[in-house]
Copies of this chain bind each other. A is one copy, B any other.
Amino acid sequence: MRPSSSTSEPPSGGLFDGVLARGPVREAVADRAWLRAMLDVEAALARAEARAGLFPVEAAEAIARACRDDALDLAALGRDASASGNPVVPLVRAITAAVDDATAAGEVHRGATSQDILDTAAMLVARRALGSLLEDLDAASDAAAALADAHRGTLIAGRTLLQHAVPTTFGLKAAGWMAGLDQAAIRLDQVRRTRLAVQLGGAAGTLASLGDRGPAVVRHLAEDLGLTEPVQPWHTDRTRVAELAGALGGTAGASAKPAQDVVLLSQTEVAEVWEGVAGRGGSSTLPHKRNPIAAVSALACARQAPGLVATLLSAMVQEHERAAGAWHAEWRPLTDLLRTVGSAAAWLRDCLEHLEVDPVRMRANLERSGGLVLAERVAAALAPALGRLAAHDIVERASARSAIESRPFAQVLADAPEVRANLTAEDLAALFDPAGYLGSADVFVDRALRAHEARRGTAAG
């Protein structure tokens, strides 16, 4: 369910939104969407209270009608918020004025405090935004899964500390991306399903002005809005917000990891992948450039998350029954966190769905180090005959000589007497075939894909 405003007024968007607010989350957390959510809460509250017998259903309907009207002047509400410290006070005034029934007007916002409305609206905004975000995240993960499956046999240099280490497959690399994205999605979905709860406590969490109907109203409200019913009001128990923030922070990191790899694999000297979106990534001054815009933008968005998570965690120290500042300090970081992580997911999806892979170049790069990536294997093959230490030394010397003489490591090694004494040319050829030194890469890809499919309810193509 998207905010209804999305159809009536196309959002204008900001100067940096094309880069920093990609995808549907931008709109789902826009001020208009917040306002829509607040109106939804006030309307649902009236219905819940009528259902609990506090006033006639007709009054609730009148209130809901007034809340359906979103011709409200958002900027004016924002401005008037400065007198009371939040936008709910002017909103309630505006709704009350719009109710066409005097009795009903008196029941608007009955028993609620501003924070009840804003917190519940925040939960609605989060639920709607997470829906969109998870769609993009799942699509990114599916794209990674497809790459993992298609490239389970594509050799690539395994790189540690950005140095060639041993061979691996591009499939296993993509499976690693997928696993991170899947786990982020699992956690986000968990938070979405179990931790987004209605807030309703009145001024200090007792719901005193609702007499004994408080719990019933909370239950009806939760049912109406499709949010969790809390055990008790949670005005200054911010563990819900913290879990949401933590899950979003983890998603940012999980999205940035593949983006960083794509940027590195796209380097001019590496050139193993590129983003295949026509007409994007060009430069006004450099006619030849093809920048990995999607990966770069995903990184740019994801990098803004940790600081926002820290702000939200810091804001958990909320005084007594309702806080003096820390609560207000949540509104924007939560909005910004949802937006920037949503944008990261949208960019990453774009990146992975359009990723072009060059297996020939991957193989060529792998071989450029002249067999060095198989040094570990050759040392292991020599160990039984020479002892582990001696074997390691021979290989290390050959590696050094290879660098000094600018000759391929495999050749230098083949010339070493201890090697010739123990390994035939065929042995060596086999040892230097990277395809034979992939260990459990394929098993891991299989297991990872099965886990992905189990989560996504799909069978591999």
Contact, CB under 8 Å: B297 / A261? no
The A365-413 residues at the B interface (CB cut-off 8 A) are 365, 368-369, 372-373, 375-377, 379-380, 383, 387-388, 392, 395-396, 399, 409
**Interface: A150 (CB within 8 A):** no
Q: Is A342 an interface residue (CB 8 A)?
A: no
> Does any Cβ of B come within 8 Å of A279's Cβ?
yes
A256 x B288 contact (CB < 8 A): no
Q: Cβ of A167: which chain B residues have Cβ within 8 Å of it?
A: 204, 206, 208
The reply to whether A163 and B290 contact each other, CB–CB distance below 8 Å, is yes
Contacts of A327 in B (CB 8 A): 300
| Interface contact A204-B168, CB-CB below 8 Å | yes
Residue of B17, B179, B212, B269 touching A237 (CB-CB under 8 A): B179
Known contacts A175-B232, A284-B109; is-contact A249 B309 (Cβ 8 Å): yes
- Whether, in the assembled complex, A432 has its beta carbon less than 8 Å from a beta carbon of chain B, the answer is no
Q: Contact between B87 and A18 (Cβ–Cβ < 8 Å)?
A: yes
Q: Is the Cβ of A249 less than 8 Å from the Cβ of B246?
A: yes
Q: Which residues of B contact A15 (CB under 8 A)?
A: 31, 34-35, 74, 77-78, 81, 87
Binary contact readout A81-102 vs B (1 if CB under 8 angstroms, 0 otherwise): 1111111110011000000000
Query: Is A286 interfacial (CB 8 A cutoff)?
Result: yes
Q: How many copies of this chain?
A: 4
A455 to chain B, nearest CB (A): 11
* Pick from B114, B253, B285: contact of A284, CB under 8 Å: B114
| A399 nearest CB across to chain B (Å) | 4
Contact between chains at B237 and A183 (CB < 8 Å): yes
Nearest B-chain residue to A335, judged by Cβ: B16
Complex interface bits, A297-326 against B, C-beta within 8 A gives 1, otherwise 0: 111111111111111011111111111111
A8 CB-CB contact with B under 8 Å? no
**Known A-B contacts A246-B247, A451-B231; A208 and B439 likewise in contact (beta carbons under 8 Å):** yes
Question: In chain A between 252 and 299, which residues have their CB closer than 8 angstroms to a CB of chain B?
Answer: 252-254, 256-257, 259-261, 263-264, 266-270, 279-293, 295-299
Q: 13 A–B contact pairs at CB < 8 A?
A: A16-B31, A82-B280, A82-B297, A85-B291, A158-B320, A162-B268, A165-B322, A166-B206, A179-B231, A180-B237, A256-B316, A263-B325, A302-B317
A302 to B232, CA, bound (A): 25
The residues in A between 213 and 247 inclusive whose CB is less than 8 angstroms from any CB of B are: 214-215, 231-240, 242-243, 245-247
Q: Is the CB of B205 within 8 A of A172?
A: yes
In the complex, besides A113-B160, A259-B325, A296-B325, 4 extra interface pairs with C-beta distance below 8 angstroms are: A82-B293, A166-B202, A208-B437, A268-B368
